[in-house]
Structure 1
Amino acid sequence: MGSHRRTAPSSGPDRSAVVALGLLSAAATALGAAPAAAAPPDDTRAADVDRLYEEAERATEAYNAADERADGLRRQISAAQDGIARKQQRVNAMRESLGSLAGAQYRSGGLEPALALLLSDDPEDYLAKASVLDRITVHQVGELRKLRSALRSLAQDRVEAAGKFGALDRSRKAAAAHKRTVESKLAEARRLLDSLPAGERAAWDRAGRSARTDLTGPGAAAASGRAAAAVAAARSALGKPYVWGANGPSGFDCSGLTQWSYAQAGVALPRTSQAQRYAGRQVPLSEARPGDLVLYRSDASHVGMYAGNGQVIHAPYPGAPVRYDPVGMMPVSSVTRV
């Protein structure tokens, strides 16, 4: 007997109909045509969304690194150009001075010394002029040497500036390539997320916020005054939108939020999450205190700020504002105390 109770069959034609239906049902089952059970949630699409956001975040941090390098190169180029302009002014002044000396020498020293002495009305005056001309010549040689040195230095500065311009161009191209990658990944993730039924989308969002880690309680103090100020700044950003490549104050990506928050406390953090990992000393997750930076994934491609009570404040992903989430929402790779 089967596991389901069945109604007793009736007699006559009704019984024949029931038997026929039973045979048809058995045949359909044998052919694999039995009514299907309700389809389970599409975990594959949800996993693809996770993967795409993760890849987009890595590309975002790579973009941030290239953009930060470009900013640094622009500052170096500006300083180099100022230095080149100052050296060029010095070279021009030296050339003008040497031109004046050469003209004076030509006007005063065009005759052979012996003949000039014979023709001179005042030998004493001649000797005084000759002495000045000697000094001018020695000075002129020294100035020429200084000019040659200045020209060599100027040429070297120009070569170095040209190299920086080349590096800046490469950094700009790298940033543009990473930008295209980010935009492509985010667009695909958004398309997949929009294709999920509302219930599955809500379940996907809850899945990343359900992990709990028992750490220090709500009364735990920050490790320093600047850490406390950074946490206060991060809290003031709650509800601001995630904007990739942004570091405030109206929008943030993950490392942009932590960089901006610590800037409000007077602390300059690097731009990327990978660099922020080494912006202080490492502490165990079990000893995390408010203001510590919590790095996620083995490549530290995501960062949040520990806020106490087992939670971090972070900028999660496009469409999700700056918010609290459990510190164990994804694999923690390290904790940095700034």
Structure 2
Amino acid sequence: MASHRRPKQTSRARVTVLTATAAAAVALSAQAAQAAPAKQSVKSVKAKVDALYEQTEQATEKLNGAKAKQEQLQKQVEVIQDEVARQQGELNDLQDDLGALASAQYRSGGIDPTLQLFLSADPESYLDKASTIEALSTQQAEGLRQIAEKKRSLDQQKAEAASKLSELDRTRTELSRNKKAVQGKLAETQKLLNSLTAAQRAAVAAADVRGVGGEHVNLGNDTPASGRAAAALAAAQTRINMPYVFSHTGPTSFDCSGLTMWAYAQADVKLPRMSQDQANAGTRLTMSQLKPGDLVIFYGDQHHVGLYAGNGMVLHAPHSGAFVRYESINNMPFQFGVRV
């Protein structure tokens, strides 16, 4: 006899599991489609990476400025504090001298001068003592005047020290904020690169190698404008292929202005720390006036600097993840050159 049992129904729990699994699969597919960088061209990703590197360097230059200001303020505070200590010592000496004068005057002139003359058996001796007392009084008055002047000067120095310490504290806060900004931009750049496939990362890296190291570079036959420019360029050339590290000034890693500052230091020339300040460190030049060893300033806010190497090539520290290298001067927005 045929069975008349109803077909077995799928349990509610099983339906729930299947539905949830299907929903998760759809969600994962949608998420994967959304996260997949394949739809982004290497060119567009490279443009985003370049923009982040530029923002990182802008933040780095602000960091460099805050560090330079901190160092300058620290030195100023130390000088002022030393001066305060010196003047305090001088004030203490003046006060001690005045106390000694007061004691001597009291011992010699504690009795009314008229009564002293009346009681004196030797008027001439008294008159000699009286002139000494008058001299002591004059000296005491001069001591009081010096103490008052020294106190005024000391108060001014203390006020200046307090002001510099307050400014130093604000600069340290700015330094911390700028450092976080640099680290944030670097993390953002790395996150973007990590979202790419290995093939895409390789393509972006290949697209970034616009410059070359120290071999097979035609720098032409132009000569530097000065011995210090020649020495600076020669020093920088020994740093080729060394890494860019934000806020570093050598000798084995650099940011852009750190490299130029270090290179010129080897020629006994002290450049400012920031590229914006280096832009004002000498005579400005057009592109056609550039000679090897001249500084080259890039971007409208002057946040990048390199050394002109000759034949349209610049030697510079490009950005995080890159190395000191030669690169065409036309790869970045040229502003002007600077002859130091």
Category of TM-score, reference length = shorter chain: 0.7 to 0.9
Question: Does 2:148 align with 1:138?
Answer: no
- In structure 2, the CA distance between the partners of 1:217 and 1:56, relative to structure 1 (3 Å rule), is closer
SS in 2 for 1:150: helix
1:150-169 deviation per Cα after TM superposition (whole angstroms, max 9, x unaligned): 00110111001100001101
Letter of the 2:189 partner, please give it.
Answer: A
For residues 111 and 40 of structure 1, the distance between their equivalents in structure 2, rounded to whole angstroms, comes to 103
Q: Answer whether contact 1:211 1:328 (CA < 8 A) is retained.
A: no
1:320 maps to which residue?
322
Query: Is 1:304 aligned to residue 315 of structure 2?
Result: no
Aligned to 1:180: 180
Give the direction of change, closer, same or farther, for the CA distance of 1:39–1:110 in structure 2 (3 Å limit).
closer
Structure 1 residues 202 and 302 mapped into 2: Cα distance closer, same or farther (>3 Å)?
farther
SS at match of 2:172: helix
Give the one of 217, 229, 232 matched to 1:230. Answer: 232
Shift of 1:295: 1.1
Moved more, 198-207 or 322-331: 198-207
The CA distance in 2 between the partners of 1:211 and 1:239, in whole Å, is 11
After superposition, the Cα gap between the structure-2 partners of 1:286 and 1:197, relative to the gap in structure 1 and judged at 3 Å, is farther
- Give the alignment's Cα RMSD to 1 decimal: 1.9
Partner amino acid for 1:277? A
1:145-184 mapped onto 2 (5 Å cutoff) = 145-184=145-184
Residue 269 of structure 1: SS of its match in structure 2? coil
Contact 2:59 2:178 in 1 (8 A): yes
Task: Give runs of ≥4 in structure 1 deviating > 6 Å.
Answer: none
Of 262, 275, 287, the residue aligned with 2:277 is 275
Amino acid aligned to 1:112 = D
Contact 1:209 / 1:326 at 8 angstroms: preserved in 2? Answer: no
CA contact (8 A) 1:208 1:329 kept: no
Q: Which secondary structure state, in structure 1, belongs to the residue aligned with residue 330 of structure 2?
A: coil
| Equivalent runs, 1:276-295 vs 2, <5 Å | 276-295=278-297
Does the CA-based 8 Å contact 2:211-2:326 persist in structure 1?
A: no
Sort the Cα spacing of 1:39 and 1:51 in 2 relative to 1 into closer, same or farther, 3 A.
Answer: closer
Q: TM-score, normalised by structure 2?
A: 0.83
Distance 2:180 2:39 in 1: 36
Matched residue count: 298
Query: 1:50-74: per-residue Cα shift (whole Å, max 9, x none)?
Result: 1111111101000101110111100
Q: Mapping of 1:1-338 within 5 angstroms?
A: 41-207=41-207, 210=210, 218-338=220-340
Deviation for aligned residue 1:291:
0.7
Q: What corresponds to 1:24 in structure 2?
A: none
Give the superposition deviation at 1:149.
0.6
- Label 1:299 to 1:208 Cα distance change in 2 as closer, same or farther (>3 A): farther
User: Contact 1:117–1:126 at 8 Å: present in 2 too?
Assistant: yes
Provide the secondary structure at the position in 2 that maps to 1:73: helix
Aligned-partner residue type, residue 106 of structure 1: Y
Which segments of 5 or more consecutive residues in structure 1 lack a partner in the other structure? Answer: 1-37
Matched position secondary structure for 2:331: coil
- 1:185 is paired with a residue whose SS is helix
Distance 1:67 1:40 in 2: 39
Q: In structure 1, the residue corresponding to 2:246 is in which secondary structure?
A: coil
2 CA distance for matches of 1:309 and 1:156?
Answer: 57
Q: CA deviation at 1:208?
A: 5.0
- Note closer, same or farther for the CA distance 1:48–1:244 as it changes in structure 2 (3 Å cut): same
- Offset of 1:206 from its aligned partner? 4.8
| C-alpha distance in structure 1 between counterparts of 2:42 and 2:164, whole Å | 50
Give, as a single letter, the amino acid of the residue that structure 1 aligns with 2:316.
H
CA distance, structure 2, for counterparts of residue 333 and residue 60 of structure 1: 19
* Distance in 1 separating the partners of 2:336 and 2:203: 28
Shift of 1:121: 2.4
Q: TM-score, normalised by structure 1?
A: 0.84
Residues in 1 aligned to 2:147 and 2:335: alpha-carbon distance in whole angstroms: 57
| CA spacing shift, 1:150–1:264, aligned 2, 3 Å | same
Taking the aligned partners of 2:234 and 2:45, their CA distance within structure 1 comes to 37
- Corresponding letter in the other structure for 1:332: F
Alpha-carbon offset, residue 331 of structure 1: 1.1
CA offset at residue 42 of structure 1?
Answer: 4.0
**What amino acid maps onto 1:88 in structure 2?**
Q
- Structure 1 residue 333, shift from structure 2 partner: 1.4
